[in-house]
Amino acid sequence: MGRTLYDKLWDSHVIRSYDDGSALLYVDRHLLHEVSTPQSFIAIEKKGRSVRRPDANLAVPDHVVSTTNRHLPIADPLARAQTQRLVENVARHKIPFIPLDDQRQGIVHVIGPEQGFTLPGITLACGDSHTSTHGAFGCLAFGIGASECGIVMATQAIRQQRTKTMRVNLVGLQSPFINAKDIALAFIARIGANGAAGHAVEYAGPVVAKMSMAERMTLCNMSIEAGARVGLIAPDDQTFDYLRGRPMAPKGEMFEHALTYWRTLPSDADAQFHRELTLDVSDVEPHVTWGTSPEDAAPIGARVPSPEDLTEATRRERRRRALAYMDLKPGDPLEAIAIDVVFIGSCTNSRIEDLRAAAAVVAGRHVAAHVKAIVVPGSGLVREQAEREGLAQTFLDAGFEWREPGCSMCVGMNGDRLEPGQRCASTSNRNFEGRQGVGGRTHLMSPAMAAAAAVTGRLTDVRKLMGGKP
């Protein structure tokens, strides 16, 4: 019987299989950032261990770094100390490092692919749940905790349970202004925030084949919001073209050698998945979230749903709580919801394609008077390219703030956060209570939709704003 991409990735990394269905897997790559590794290094050093293969690691500060005034030390002493701790830890263990003042600095899940550190066929781990992003390159990439980061660094291995597989076939035609983010939100709304738990999700079909690497990364990134630790997309010519010439990717003959192997990775035609699901993207509208879980997503033309529509008591109660937190009433049109802040950024949507999509909407327009809008590029290289392409100027002319790269307001650890009660149109990945700041209210959406919201000051169907049919 044929094997899935997941099967091939798994099988090719098994060091040892155990009777209970778990296996010890070899870890090819480990990405580090400042927040999830201080305790990992303490654990390593307490036992006098060393990092087994420093060259298999790459570290960068992203979560707590300031997105303004980079020439000054980080203002928050705790954030400054945490960033400094990373600097010291990687120096002591000779781990390749991209410092804060380096142009390559950025969000781990943006710079991994950008540097060619992320490659097809590998296993990649990082102390961050959105590590699923890298699966867009046809590798087995998953988030781990701080203890596991220490284990991976010391042993180059990790014991895992094999998961089930799910294939999501994306068919139909992707209309203009419909982004991978809309498709991801529609998928999560359908399957639930826990709906893909226990599965590695492979996205396939003609829609995926046509998607840019950026959109593929958005899809895989959001897998964790459907409960799946792993998202996957078969590598193809576009993947290989993206990687060719990247600084850390193999070069010349070695690249061609790798390519021969990478071409064997896609799921076999007769491979069996534990679950299979088809989503016709022709029917997908621009999506926004109205609640406090990514599954609380709906087409922009919809209204805030009622808790009374739910029969099960705890789900009804959960929705009541979500609407109370979001200060929304059942029946309110989503398009009537006024916003205070717009955040364009995060490992989900901060790549050049995302910024182009947002800039196309704001060009010749202006941010609504009461709205604070920020763009935080995913890396210094994205920032530089956006400046070269004139996107930065478009944002600035429209009244956006143009920031330095980092996780910023997606996780609110660096001072970029919502004030209590503020409402944000955000291209990030989580609308949990307090995620963007205590009492802050998050509506997730695509870059084009966030740009449209910035212009009108409320949740907006970008297709209407751009004169197309909704």
Partner 1 sequence: MTGFTTTESLAAYMPEQNIDTDAIYPARYLLLMEREGLGPYLFHDRRFHGDGTPKEGFILDLEPFSKAQVLVAGAGFGCGSSREQAVWALTGFGVRCVIAPSFGEIFAGNALKNGLLTIALPEEVVARIGAAAQRGARFRIDLEECILCVDNEIVATIDLPEGQRMALLNGWDETDVLLQEEGDAISGFETRHRMAQPWLFQGST
The β-bridge partners of 169 are 204, 278
Helix, strand, coil % in the chain, rounded to nearest 5: 40, 20, 45
Nearer of residues 192 and 457 to partner 1, judged by Cβ:
192
Question: What is the identity of the amino acid at 61?
Answer: P
- x/- string (CB under 8 A) for partner 1, residues 352-391? ----------------------------------------
User: Does position 293 bind partner 1 by CB under 8 A?
Assistant: yes
User: Does position 157 bind partner 1 by CB under 8 A?
Assistant: yes
Residue 341, classed as helix, strand or coil, is strand
User: Does position 19 bind partner 1 by CB under 8 A?
Assistant: yes
Nearer of residues 47 and 71 to partner 1, judged by Cβ:
47
Nearer of residues 259 and 360 to partner 1, judged by Cβ:
259
Size of the site for partner 1 (CB under 8 A): 84
Nearer of residues 26 and 399 to partner 1, judged by Cβ:
26
- Shortest distance in whole angstroms from residue 67 CB to partner 1: 16
Nearer of residues 200 and 219 to partner 1, judged by Cβ:
200
Nearer of residues 26 and 372 to partner 1, judged by Cβ:
26
Binders in 186-215 for partner 1, by CB under 8 A: 193-194, 197-198
| Neighbouring residues of 159: CB distance < 8 A, sequence distance ≥ 6 | 18, 22, 23, 24, 25
The β-bridge partners of 232 are 202
User: Does position 416 bind partner 1 by CB under 8 A?
Assistant: no
User: Does position 327 bind partner 1 by CB under 8 A?
Assistant: no
User: Does position 310 bind partner 1 by CB under 8 A?
Assistant: no
CB 46, CB 39: distance < 8 Å: no
Residue of the chain from 103, 147, 264, 282 that contacts partner 1 (CB under 8 A)? 147
Q: What angle do CA 59, 159, 162 make, to 5 degrees?
A: 110
The β-bridge relationship of strands 287-289 and 297-299 is antiparallel
Nearer of residues 47 and 370 to partner 1, judged by Cβ:
47
| Neighbouring residues of 398: CB distance < 8 A, sequence distance ≥ 6 | 362, 363, 365, 366, 367, 373, 454, 455
User: Does position 227 bind partner 1 by CB under 8 A?
Assistant: yes
CB under 8 Å, gap of 24 or more: what pairs does 16-22 form? 18/159, 21/161, 21/162, 22/159, 22/160, 22/161, 22/162
**For residues 236 and 209, what is the distance between their CA atoms, to the nearest angstrom?**
8
DSSP code at position 434: T
- Shortest distance in whole angstroms from residue 42 CB to partner 1: 8
For residue 320, give the H/E element and its range.
helix 313-326
Binders in 256-285 for partner 1, by CB under 8 A: 257-258, 261
- Shortest distance in whole angstroms from residue 171 CB to partner 1: 28
Stretch that binds partner 1, among 137-145, 170-178, 233-241, 384-392 (CB under 8 A): 137-145
For residue 3, give the H/E element and its range.
none
CB 405, CB 383: distance < 8 Å: yes
Residue of the chain from 76, 389, 397, 401 that contacts partner 1 (CB under 8 A)? 76
State the helix-helix crossing angle for 213-221 and 352-362, rounded to 10 degrees.
100
Nearer of residues 38 and 470 to partner 1, judged by Cβ:
38
User: Does position 35 bind partner 1 by CB under 8 A?
Assistant: yes
User: Does position 223 bind partner 1 by CB under 8 A?
Assistant: no
Q: What angle do CA 80, 86, 88 make, to 5 degrees?
A: 100
Stretch that binds partner 1, among 106-114, 122-130, 209-217, 279-287 (CB under 8 A): 122-130
Residue of the chain from 333, 390, 439, 468 that contacts partner 1 (CB under 8 A)? 439
